[in-house]
Copies of this chain bind each other. A is one copy, B any other.
Amino acid sequence: MTPDEFRQAGHALVDWIANYRERLAAGDYPVQARVSPGEILAQVPAAAPEHGEPFANVLRDIDELLMPGITHWQHPRFFGFFPSGGSLSSVLADMLSTGLGVIGLNWQASPALTELEQGMTDWLRDLLGLPSTFSGVLQDTASAATFVALVCARERATDYGAARAGLQDRACPPLVVYTSAQAHSSVEKAALLAGFGREFVRAIAIDEDFCLVPEALEAAVRKDRAAGLRPCAIVATSGTTATTAFDPIAPIARIAQEERLWLHVDGAMGGSAMILPEYRHHWEGIEAADSIVVNPHKWLTTAFDCSLYLVRDPEHLVRVMSTNPSYLQTAVDAKVRNYRDWGIPLGRRFRALKIWFALRADGAEALRRRVRADIDSAKWLAAEVGRTARWRCVAPVTLQTVCVCHEPPGLSGSELDDHTRRWTAAINDSGRAYLTPAVVAGRWMTRVSIGSEHVSRESVEELWRIMRETASAAATAR
């Protein structure tokens, strides 16, 4: 494709995206894709074309082949999972990143990529109210960041054992990782990837609000130590996936310091709320964390992938993650950050542009306004649920997620679970809204997660009408 062809095709695609977003904002699409497994793949030719074709054909197939298979995360009635940032400013930023086509494998390979990343991670850190003792890097996901944290924990606990026998040092007592049963699935995955083994990952008890109980952590650590094991890391969550519960950081940090545990805080979702000073009490004690991850690509509008990983001791991170082959060395290495040593991949996109564009185009105040509006909508919905017969919030509404259960008379246990999943699936299948069911305290409930790009109070009100209507119909139809 020549620059001239790109000019023409690019203008057409920009218009396509603008039109798509306008139609989305108007609620024009069914939220959930309406295709069966294999339906899209069956339309993809078996072999790659030998010769190019006009871009108009591709544009046509976006509409005809792809769009039926898209579940619209930026739809005003998408309330599934957690929101995924979709600001149009960051769409432009990603286009520039790819258009420049530079790779940040060391500072010299594009100083602007590295230094804007330093600047933008500082901006975000400060917006979140964190002290300047933290240094930041952008990674792809919280899954990767949490893995990096656990590897750093492992290495600190073994005095850099990776340089010797790694986790295969038979003289070293087994290391143990602690988290709560409400932690994201990526925490256990990260621990297993790092070699700890499931037997050495402890799910610490939670209280009735789904927050980790510090006393239970303390007891577990002592028990393990008494058994000859070596407690290594605690992963606390700020905004759990099921209910956005906040584990209490201050008492956990105190235990971490006393017991020499690495404290990693998974604030992938809830960390974003810390741009609001009135929510920072949830982070009391955070300055003692060894590492923190917050995903601007969730609630702070920057497009996926853009995960902020903050550490108190970058020297330790670099020592654990670094490689230094001859072909990557430059004369200025001692004076610069080489972000390849701050994560897993060597190659790195120019991700900082997404934060730069989003904050310059829209401003920090717009982010705070958006986060506040989503929280207000969640509170409104929770109040409606609370004053409606047969409906119940099954968890405290801390942020923008409302966990609800509709309880028709006479239903309990697995029958109630079936009902919950049935009405939720009925809404999703209708295309009118999209919700994620999940299990807490052993029972299915339905999460309403507010925060997609085009969400508004009106779309939440519309959802609530749909929920009541659909759940009642499902109860009657039984």
A62: chain B residues at CB < 8 Å are: 96
**CB-contact partner of A57 in B22, B65, B116, B360, under 8 A:** B360
Interchain CB contact under 8 A, B13 and A11: no
**CB-contact partner of A363 in B15, B49, B447, under 8 A:** B49
**CB-contact partner of A102 in B73, B98, B141, B332, under 8 A:** B73
Q: How far is the CA of A117 from the CA of B98 in the complex (A)?
A: 19
Question: At the interface, yes or no: A453 with Cβ under 8 Å from chain B?
Answer: yes
Interface size class of A (residues with CB under 8 A): 35 or more
**CB-contact partner of A74 in B101, B143, B323, under 8 A:** B101
Question: At the interface, yes or no: A200 with Cβ under 8 Å from chain B?
Answer: yes
Interchain CB contact under 8 A, B73 and A332: no
**CB-contact partner of A197 in B14, B105, B165, B323, under 8 A:** B165
Interchain CB contact under 8 A, B200 and A166: yes
Interchain CB contact under 8 A, A141 and B346: yes
Q: Mark A84-118, 1 if CB is under 8 A from B, else 0.
A: 11111111101111111111010111111101101
Identical subunits present = 2
CB distance from A354 to the nearest CB of B (A): 9
Interchain CB contact under 8 A, B48 and A162: no
Question: At the interface, yes or no: A389 with Cβ under 8 Å from chain B?
Answer: no
CB distance from A432 to the nearest CB of B (A): 16
Q: How far is the CA of A422 from the CA of B264 in the complex (A)?
A: 44
Interchain CB contact under 8 A, A1 and B49: no
Interchain CB contact under 8 A, B91 and A99: yes
Given contacts A33-B108, A53-B360, are A126 and B47 in contact (CB under 8 A)? yes
CB distance from A476 to the nearest CB of B (A): 22
Interchain CB contact under 8 A, B73 and A199: no
Question: At the interface, yes or no: A383 with Cβ under 8 Å from chain B?
Answer: no
Chief secondary structure at chain A's binding surface: helix
For chain A residues 332-379, which have a beta carbon within 8 Å of chain B? 332, 335-336, 344-347, 349, 356-357, 359-366
Given contacts A17-B6, A332-B37, A347-B305, are A163 and B108 in contact (CB under 8 A)? no
Question: At the interface, yes or no: A21 with Cβ under 8 Å from chain B?
Answer: yes
Question: At the interface, yes or no: A147 with Cβ under 8 Å from chain B?
Answer: yes
Interchain CB contact under 8 A, B20 and A69: no
Interchain CB contact under 8 A, B13 and A96: yes
Known: A91-B101, A165-B200. 13 other contacts (CB 8 A): A3-B88, A4-B18, A7-B15, A10-B10, A11-B11, A46-B122, A48-B126, A69-B111, A71-B108, A140-B345, A164-B198, A297-B347, A304-B347
Interchain CB contact under 8 A, A9 and B40: no
Interchain CB contact under 8 A, B361 and A53: yes
Q: Which of A40, A105, A184, A364 has the most CB of B within 10 A?
A: A40
A184: chain B residues at CB < 8 Å are: 325
Q: Mark A77-88, 1 if CB is under 8 A from B, else 0.
A: 000110011111
Question: At the interface, yes or no: A213 with Cβ under 8 Å from chain B?
Answer: no
Interchain CB contact under 8 A, B347 and A111: no
Question: At the interface, yes or no: A242 with Cβ under 8 Å from chain B?
Answer: yes
**CB-contact partner of A66 in B116, B194, B363, under 8 A:** B116
Question: At the interface, yes or no: A5 with Cβ under 8 Å from chain B?
Answer: yes
